[in-house]
Structure 1
C-alpha cells in the first residue's frame, strides 16, 4: 500500500469521507488512490478558494472535519482567504497539501515555497510526513487536531505519496469538549441574580443548538438578562419555536448603542466583542468601560452543558420564550433591499440552509425571517469576502436532502464565482439570490466612517462595479446554472419560488438600483 492509499483509507475510517480538491502534479497519486477507496467522495473545484470554502460549509453542517486537497504553496495561498474564515469560525478541517518529492526540494523548482509557513498562518496544527510509514498516523493525528475546532494541515511530499510500505492507522478517539467549571458557574449565577443590567452574548455551539438557545431564553426570562448573538455566528439554528435572539450589530456606532448601560456581559460560547476595524475617535470595543466581562464558556468548550448547569443554579424551573410562526407579506413594486428580505421571509422553505453573504443588501433579513420555518443560518465569520458560494457547495454536499439558499452580494460573488460550475456538475440543490447593486456598498459606508478625505469621482471608481455591468445571468448560464433576472418584487417572488421548488442549482439576479 502506498502513502496516498493509506492516507485516504485512514481519513475515511476517521469519518472524513469528502474531499474538495483542486489538485496538481504532486497530488496525482492521491487522485489515483480515490479509485482504491470509493468511500471517499472527491469533489472538483476550479479554484482553491472554492475548495476551502466548501470544506468550511460541509464541516459546519456535519460537525465533522472536512478535507481539502491543494497543490503546493501557491495552491494553498489561493485558498487562504476562506481558510481564514474557517479558522475564525473554529471549523474542523484537514488540508492535504502536496509538495515536491524529498530529493527535488533542494533544486528550488519553480513552484517551491515555504508551505509550512503559509499553513501556519491559518492552521492550529501543521505536520510534514517524512516517510510512507508515517502518513497514516499523521493523518489520524490531523483528524484528532481538527476535531478540536481548528485547521490541521498535512504536507505530503510526492514521493512519500507514491512510495510503498504504508499501512492504515486506527481512527483517533472521539473528542469531548470540556464542560463548565464551578467557579465560572457561581460567578455568572451571582451576576444574573444581582439585578444589574446584563447581556448574555451567545456564540459557537450554543447558537448551533436548539437546546442551547431554549435554555438561554429560559434563563434570560427568569433573570431579566438580555440575549444577543455574536455578529457573525458560524452556524445558528433559527425560526418559529425558537427564541428571538438578535445579533450584535456590525456598525460600531450601532453596536456601542446596543450595549450602552450594560454593567455585565456574560460570554456563552462567544468571544468578547471588538469592532472589525479601528476608527478615529471610536473605542476598539462596544463593551462600555464600566462593564465587566464574564466567561461562562469559551469557544470550543461545551457551552450548552454550561447553560444547562447555570439554569439549574440561577433559574430553576424557568421556561423559554419561543417565537410563534410568522411570515411577512409579499411586497410589490420596485425592488429594495428590505423588499428582497420580505420575499425571502415569505418563501423560505422548511429545513433550509441559508448562507448569508448579502453584506449591506441584507436590510431587515434577520427580522423578516425570524418567524419562518426552522432553518440553519451560516455567516461570514472572518470577514474575508467570497465565502458564500463555496460554503453553499459544501452545505449542499453535506445535506443533500435540504434546500440551500445563498444570499450573495455581487462584489463578493466575483471572488469565487467558479463555485457555480461545481454546483452544476454535482447537481446540488442550491438557489443563489444574487443582490446586484453594482457597487462595493460596504466600502462606500466605510469611506466616510473612517474619516477618509475626498471621496470624489476617482475614489468612487474603485467602489463602483458598473461600466461594464456584470451580467450574472450570462455568467451563471455559461457555467451550467439556470438563471433569471428580477427587477420588481413580483418578478423576484415568482422566480425565487420557482427556483426553490425545482431541484438542482439556480441563480436569481435581483436588480437593486436607486429610484429615479
Structure 2
C-alpha cells in the first residue's frame, strides 16, 4: 500500500466526504487518487484562505471534522490568517499541505520551506510526515487532537515522495471515545448554593453551549432562575434564542464596558467560551466588587484562566447544565418577578429599535437599520444567516430572530473575510435550508474568489454586500483610539475609504459566473432579496448603504 492510499483510506475511515482545497503540484498524489474514491467530493477554491474559511464553517455547521489540502509554503502562507480564525472558532480541522520531495531538502527547492514551523503558531499540533510508515499513526493522532476540547485545527505536511512510498502500516480508524465528562457533584452543589443566594444572576453563554446541543437545557435553566443572558462580543454561534425575553445582547470589547453591562448583577455564570476577548485595554475588572463569578468549561485550560472564580466546573457543557438545572432551587415567585422585569426591558428595547428604524426609514443612502428590515422582509422562513456585518451587527440582531444553534454562523478572532468564504462551508454542510451571507464591502474583498466556488459547485447562496464604500469599523476605531489616548485631532480618516475607484461587486460576480443585482434604493431591497432566493442559484446583491455619519 502506498502512502497516498493510506491517506485516502484514513479519510474514508473517519467519515470524511469533503476535501476543501486549492490544487498544486505537490498535491498530485491526492488529486490523482480522487477517481479511486468517488465517495469523497473535492470542493475546489481559487485561494487557500477561502478553502480554510469554508472548511472552518463547514466543521461548525456539519459537526464533522473538516479536511483541507493546501499547496506548499506560499499556499500555506495564504491560509494562515484563516487557520487563525479556525483556531479561535474552535473548528475541528485537519489541514494538510503537499511538501516538496524530502530528497530535495538540502537543495532549497522552489516553494520549499519548513511547513510545520509555519503552521505551528496557529494550530494545536503541527507535524511533517517523514516516511510512509508514519502516515497512518500521524493522521489518526491528527483527527483525535483536532477534536479534543477545545477543538481546533491541526496541520500535517505531506511530502510528495512519502505519499508514493510503500508501507505495510494501514490507515488508522477513529477510536470510540466517550468524552462527555460528567461534572463533579461538589462543584455543582457549590454553584447551586451561590445561584440560590443571588438577587440578580446573569449568564454569559459561549459557543460551546451551541456545539454541545445544550441550548434547550440553557433555556430551561434561565426560565427557572429568571436570569439575564449575554453573548460574547465575538461569537461563532448563538447559544440562546435571541427572541427570548432574557437575552440582553452582546458584551462590550473592554472591561469597563462589560462592567457597565453587568453592573446590576451580583452573580455571573460564564460557560463555554474564552471570556473575555477585548479590543481596547482599560484598567479594572469586568465584574463589580462582590460579584460571584462561576464558570463551566469542557477544557481545564480555559477554567479560571483570566479570572478567579468562586466555583468552577470542568465537564461537558450540556451535562453540567443538566446537573445545574436539577440542583438549583429558586423561589418560583422570585423567578417570575425577574422574568417580568426582563420582559419589560425587552419590550422597551424593541420599541426603541422600532422608533430608530422609523426615524432612519427615509434616509438616503439607505440606513443600516432599514436595510436590515428590508433584507429580513425579503428572506424566506428558515433562512440561515452567515454573518460578517461588523458595524451593522447591532441592527442585524435587532431585526432577525435566531432561535436555534443552526440559524447563525460567524467568525471569531477578528480576521475579516471569513463570512463570504464561510458561507460556502455552510452551504456544503446544509443543503436543505436557504442561506443568506451578509458582508461588508471591505470584508468581502478578502475572499471574493469564493463567488467562483459557489458558481462552480452550484451552491444557492444569496450574498448580500452592504456597500458603504469605506472601512467603517476602522473609522469608529480611530475615534476610539483618539479618545482613549487623548489624541487631539480633527484630521480626516486616512486610507479608510473604498473609492477612487469604487468597487463594482455585480461586475466582479458576473466575472466569476454569479448573477448580480445592484440596489441603490431602499424601496427595491425587499423584492431584490426575494428574487435572488427564488432563483435557486448563487446570487450577489450589492446594496448601497450610508457610511459613517
Query: If the length of structure 1 is used for normalisation, what is the TM-score?
Result: 0.91
Q: State the distance in 1 between where 2:378 and 2:404 align.
A: 10
Aligned to 1:229: 231
After superposition, what is the alpha-carbon deviation per residue over 1:108-153, rounded to whole angstroms, capped at 9, x for unaligned?
1232222112211111122221211221222122111112212111
Question: 1:192-341 to 2 correspondence within 5 Å?
Answer: 192-208=195-211, 212-236=214-238, 245-252=247-254, 254-278=257-281, 282-283=282-283, 286-288=286-288, 290-298=290-298, 301-315=315-329, 333=362, 334=364, 335-341=366-372
Q: Which residue of 1 aligns with 2:46?
A: 46
- Residues matched between the structures, number: 510
- The change in CA–CA distance for 1:456 and 1:30 in structure 2 (over 3 A counts) is farther
Give deviations 1:345-389, integer Å, cap 9, x for gaps.
334433322111001023421121127899511122111111001
Q: Which moved more, 1:21-30 or 1:250-259?
A: 250-259
Which stretch has the larger CA shift, 313-322 or 370-379?
A: 313-322
Partner of 2:165: 163
Alpha-carbon distance, 1:254 to partner: 4.4
- Which runs of no fewer than 5 residues in structure 1 stay unpaired? none
- In structure 2, the CA distance between the partners of 1:488 and 1:299, relative to structure 1 (3 Å rule), is farther
Q: CA deviation at 1:315?
A: 4.2
Q: Secondary structure at the match of 1:171?
A: coil
Cα distance in 2 for partners of 1:263, 1:312 equals 22
| Partner residue in 2 for 1:394 | 425
CA positional deviation for 1:242: 6.2
| Greater shift in the superposed pair: 417-426 or 176-185 | 176-185
> In the alignment, is the contact (CA less than 8 A) between 1:269 and 1:303 conserved in 2?
yes
Q: Secondary structure at the match of 2:197?
A: coil
Q: Quote how far apart the aligned CAs of 1:164 are.
A: 2.6
Per-residue CA distance 1:392-441 (angstroms, 9 max, x = gap) = 00110111222111110110111111011100100102111101001111
2:469 is matched with which residue: 438, 455, 470? 438
- Residues 28-47 of structure 1 correspond to what in structure 2 (within 5 A)? 28-47=28-47
| CA 454–46 in structure 1, closer or farther in 2 if over 3 Å, else same | farther
Alignment partners' CA distance in 2, 1:66 and 1:375: 17
Q: Give the deviation of 1:514 after TM superposition.
A: 5.4
CA contact 2:232–2:250 (8 Å) conserved in 1: yes
CA distance in 2, matches of 1:256, 1:112: 50
- For residue 307 of structure 1, give the secondary structure of its aligned residue in structure 2: helix
Q: Secondary structure at 2:474's aligned position in 1?
A: helix
Equivalent residue, structure 1, for 2:311 = none
- Equivalent residue, structure 2, for 1:152: 154
Displacement after TM superposition at 1:285 (Å): 5.6
Structure 2 unaligned residues grouped into runs of 5+: 301-314
1:345 to 372, 376, 388: 376
RMSD: 3.0
SS of residue paired to 1:199: strand
Contact 1:11 1:140 (8 Å CA) reproduced: no
Give the whole-Å Cα distance in 1 for the aligned partners of 2:6 and 2:331. Answer: 53
The 3 A distance-change label for structure 1 pair 373 and 97 is closer
Note closer, same or farther for the CA distance 1:299–1:438 as it changes in structure 2 (3 Å cut).
Answer: farther
TM value normalised by structure 2: 0.85
